[in-house]
Amino acid sequence: MGFTSFLGERSTFDAELWGILDGLTLILDSSLVGVMIQTDRPWAIQRIPKELNNDADYIVKLAFDTR
């Protein structure tokens, strides 16, 4: 699965973060499990069930709050 998006003039770091956010949105919309996100930045991303990480779950809910 892939996607493209026009971000205007942004830093490489910003583009990477927008790509990850868009990818996570696709994952949520598709109800996918066992997903690996790859980037050319030296990051490691690991899925942790929300019941094991309440702080991260709260932050994600704030990011997707449409109010």
DSSP string, 18-45: HHHHHHHHHHHHHT--S-----SSS---
Return d(Cα 52, Cα 54) in angstroms, integer: 6
Rounded mean pLDDT, 25-54:
76
Q: What is the pLDDT of residue 5?
A: 73
Q: What is the pLDDT of residue 1?
A: 57
Q: What is the pLDDT of residue 50?
A: 66
Q: Is residue 2 part of a domain?
A: no
pTM (2 decimals)? 0.46
Given a cut of 70, whether residue 30 has pLDDT beyond it is yes
8-state DSSP, 9:
S
Q: Is residue 4 part of a domain?
A: no
Q: Which domain holds residue 29?
A: 12-63
pLDDT band at 26 (very low <50, low <70, confident <90, very high): confident
Q: What is the pLDDT of residue 43?
A: 66
Instruction: Look at the chain and report how many structural domains it folds into.
Output: 1
